[in-house]
Structure 1
């Protein structure tokens, strides 16, 4: 939900401050719902050691450093799986996962599962770059296992 999301800081000065401070701070912010068609990349990772423990935080920023935000791995995964390019891969895999949960059909030899798997593979081949390589390799591993019930081995299935 975008109202629960952390604010996105606007401006290069806020980006420079965020590089050294991972806590929320006062600065010009904008709602995540208002930021559209901007590609973000991970700029910095903060891992906690010693008495302070927790999940790592990621500083994501736009290419021109106009927008920046600290986020968690769960939010990065959420945006990754819900991106427009991944939608064609994720939806057929969700259908297979739901079918296996409802009817205990986990084999890819099942006619419906095979159809959905082929649709996911077709969509994966339309992706670009390292994303395509990761998704296609994960799907090939899934096909080799011939079973969606194998957990812990396939990174792509962690989201389902």
Structure 2
């Protein structure tokens, strides 16, 4: 489903026939095979989140995956070659759930925005363009990323209409 006004969060459906790097078929900077998680990949992702939470509750933070953002509970940073980077990070709150946020670093000028997509079915459908940040390196507002939600950070070049995203977390 292509949304009429891309600045308003809307429900999207993954469409492998849509142009690559569009809102309904963004380029996945982790590898295009992560655009839609299989039922097993989705199950494994949720299990990994639950395992991290169990480790954190037990005080075993040394077992948590490192990441690229210092101080984040979990993070990933993906390069868009020659143009910049999209960062996705989570924090663990007192309710023992993760909350995700996104940020961009752009090399040069242009009209860029970042946002998050949130899915409950492994990327078949998602609410897109949440926590929009335009032409800024500021972090977006946090979005609930606990089970069964998965989130990804996305970078949109408003001049070329390129959309690139991290894999689902």
TM-score, normalised to structure 2, is 0.27
| Greater fraction helix | 1
Higher Rg: 1
TM-score, normalised to structure 1, is 0.28
| Greater fraction strand | 2
Q: Which has the higher contact order (CA 8 A, sep 6+)?
A: 2
